[in-house]
Amino acid sequence: MTEATAVQTTVGEQIKQSPAVAAAIDTIVHETTTKCAQITDIREANPELKSSYDELLARCAAVKGRGLLYPYLASGAGNGALVELADGSVKWDMITGIGVHFLGHSNPGVIRAQAVAALDDTTKHGNLLSNFDAYGFGEKLLEHAAKGSKLKSAFITTSGAMANESAIKVCYQKRNGAPRVIAFKDCFMGRSVTMCQLGDSAGGRQGVPLSTQVDYMPFWTEAGVAAAGGEEKFIAQCVAQLDEFVARYPDQHACFIFELVQGEGGFRTAPREFFVALMERCKKHGIPVWDDEIQSFGRTTEMFAYDMLNLGEYVDVFCVGKMTQACATLWTEEMNPKAGLLSGTFTGNSSDFTVGNLLIDTLASGGFYGADGKFAKHFELFSQQVQALASRHPEWFPGVEGQSGVVGGVGGMMRFTPFGGDKDKIIKACKAMYDEGLICFWCGHGPFHVRFLPPLPVFDEADWPRVFEVVEKALAKVG
Ligand SMILES: Cc1ncc(COP(=O)(O)O)c(C=O)c1O
């Protein structure tokens, strides 16, 4: 017997099981975490690093053809919600790459998962040839998705836009090439040629020839409900609008795309009855329901926003991305596309799957969801901070036309609206917060809002007052 046949496992498995490799990974995690533990508060840049940092920023601008929106270049280290920049400054990260780093900075589990991924023979996996990891990730996602929906299969890909492109193709094929799509006003779907046309933002498709036919539906707003004369009347109006589109273009709609909690559109959701009325109508007309949870997944009061709203039975196609690292399109058995429709060179990096699995396991580990879960509690604490700020400085919160209150969102999708939602002032406020040591962003199409997507699983409830100290300092500059 040769030596090779005597060993009852693969070489790949031997590497993963090697005590020497495990010890090396333990050392990496320990060293990184120990060093990162020095990062405990925000701090200003180190003046000695200023010129080298400015030079890096200039090189970035040269590559991009324009300056960076925020002069942000991370050093590669952080601690939870605190991130260190390459100029030595430390800031609160309340936006996490638009929600990508939900497990925070230098999370020991993430570093371990990345180190394990580094053992693989290649960095990228593909649709043609792959290790099991992409399918393991898909299997885990489907296992949780199936608890509240009929979603059965998944296509794994590298970006939210690509997941959405795959979703729309599945719908087109199911509907024999029906060319139209129904979408909500103010939705956002990504930046590919098709997705920038579905997204309701003129700035996102300047100069792009229009090849996709979209019928926009009103989304739920307080102003819309008031104008209609109440919730039931608003829902009836929207259903009538949907019927009108279908009557005008019979059998011409491939799908209705639902963003159950609008992200870029301003962290807005709607009552279940609104979605049920429209989804029931879709079922009646044979129009597939496509649910884009690329921004909302994981952060509402359930892992899936359709579970929060108890809408899983209606969902035919579903997309996820951002915090999951690997992105995916999921669909029901009835929507299963023909071979050849979906593929692509890459499914993702090994670390997309090891970190993606860690993320899903963390979310499922308990305590985060439900009306009394940690994410709902964080939202309550955030709201209290905004209310307290507004009562200390009512002049910064003059009220917003068509919107009651200055706080909004759900779970880890948090927004507040100073300065009446004025675009220029909101952008100024975000930039002032950046300068003071807090990174956030804006959302909405008017009113505009300050948007937070904090790394909730690693964020300490006691840190909300520290974060709002920075907010207050910054708003004072703008106010
Ligand atoms: C709801 C929604 N869909 C799709 C996308 C596109 O994802 P990506 O930027 O990964 O292509 C985004 C990104 O912001 C999003 O918020």
Question: What was the pLDDT predicted at 479?
Answer: 85
Distance (angstroms) between ligand 1 centre and the Cα of 44 equals 32
Largest interatomic CA distance in the chain: 84
Does an H or E element contain 142, and which? helix 133-145
Distance (angstroms) between ligand 1 centre and the Cα of 202 equals 16
Question: What was the pLDDT predicted at 366?
Answer: 86
User: Relative to the CA of 327, which ligand 1 atom is closest?
Assistant: 10
> Do residues 356 and 102 lie in contact, with contact meaning Cβ atoms separated by under 8 Å?
no
Amino acid at 325: Q
User: Which residue lies with its CA nearest to atom 8 of ligand 1?
Assistant: 160
Distance (angstroms) between ligand 1 centre and the Cα of 349 equals 19
User: Measured on CA atoms in the order 160, 165, 170, 174, is the torsion positive or negative?
Assistant: positive
User: Relative to the CA of 192, which ligand 1 atom is closest?
Assistant: 11
Distance (angstroms) between ligand 1 centre and the Cα of 62 equals 26
The pair of structure tokens assigned to 404 is: 């009651």
Convert the pLDDT of each residue in 52-109 to its tens digit.
Answer: 999 999 999 999 999 999 999 999 999 999 999 999 999 999 999 999 999 999 999 9
CA angle, 299 then 93 then 469, to 5°: 105
User: Relative to the CA of 263, which ligand 1 atom is closest?
Assistant: 16
Distance (angstroms) between ligand 1 centre and the Cα of 329 equals 13
Distance (angstroms) between ligand 1 centre and the Cα of 160 equals 5
User: Relative to the CA of 164, which ligand 1 atom is closest?
Assistant: 4
User: Relative to the CA of 98, which ligand 1 atom is closest?
Assistant: 14
Provide the whole-model pTM: 0.97
User: Which residue lies with its CA nearest to atom 10 of ligand 1?
Assistant: 160
Convert the pLDDT of each residue in 190-223 to its tens digit.
Answer: 999 999 999 999 999 999 999 999 999 999 999 9
List, chain by chain if needed, residues with CB within 6 Å of any ligand 1 atom: 98, 159-161, 164, 188-190, 259, 263-264, 292, 294-295, 321
Amino acid at 339: A
- Domains of the chain and CATH, by start: 37-99+367-479 (3.90.1150.10), 124-364 (3.40.640.10)
Distance (angstroms) between ligand 1 centre and the Cα of 172 equals 20
Which residues in 219-258 are b (16+ Cβ under 10 Å) and which e? bbbeebbeebeebeebbebbbeebeebbeeeeebbbbbbb
DSSP SS3 for 92: strand
Q: Is the peptide bond before 465 cis (omega within 30 degrees of 0)?
A: no
pLDDT below 70 — which residues of the chain? 1-7
User: Relative to the CA of 264, which ligand 1 atom is closest?
Assistant: 16
Question: What was the pLDDT predicted at 3?
Answer: 52
Question: What was the pLDDT predicted at 31?
Answer: 98
